[in-house]
Amino acid sequence: MRFILGMFTGAALLMATAYMHDNGTLRFGPDQSFVNWPQVQELASRMQNGLSNAWATHVKGA
């Protein structure tokens, strides 16, 4: 259980640090962005739409 909690905590810290770096809050490393944020936003939107469609099909349709 601690291992799984550690994995989620590490992933959250990684994303938070990359976000702060890319927005200029933290000053370290290269000047270019670590993450392609428009691509992340597109993937998150596609995932949300897919989950919404799956929920509507399997739960509401049942």
Tens of each residue's pLDDT in the chain, 62 residues: 999 999 999 999 999 999 999 988 888 888 888 899 999 999 999 999 999 999 998 887 65
Pick from 39, 37, 43, 45: nearest CA to 15:
37
Local structure of residue 1 (DSSP, 8 states): -
Report the C-alpha dihedral over residues 20, 26, 28, 29, rounded to 10 degrees.
20
Q: Which pair of tokens denotes residue 7?
A: 């994995």
Q: Residue 61: what residue type?
A: G
pLDDT value of residue 62: 58
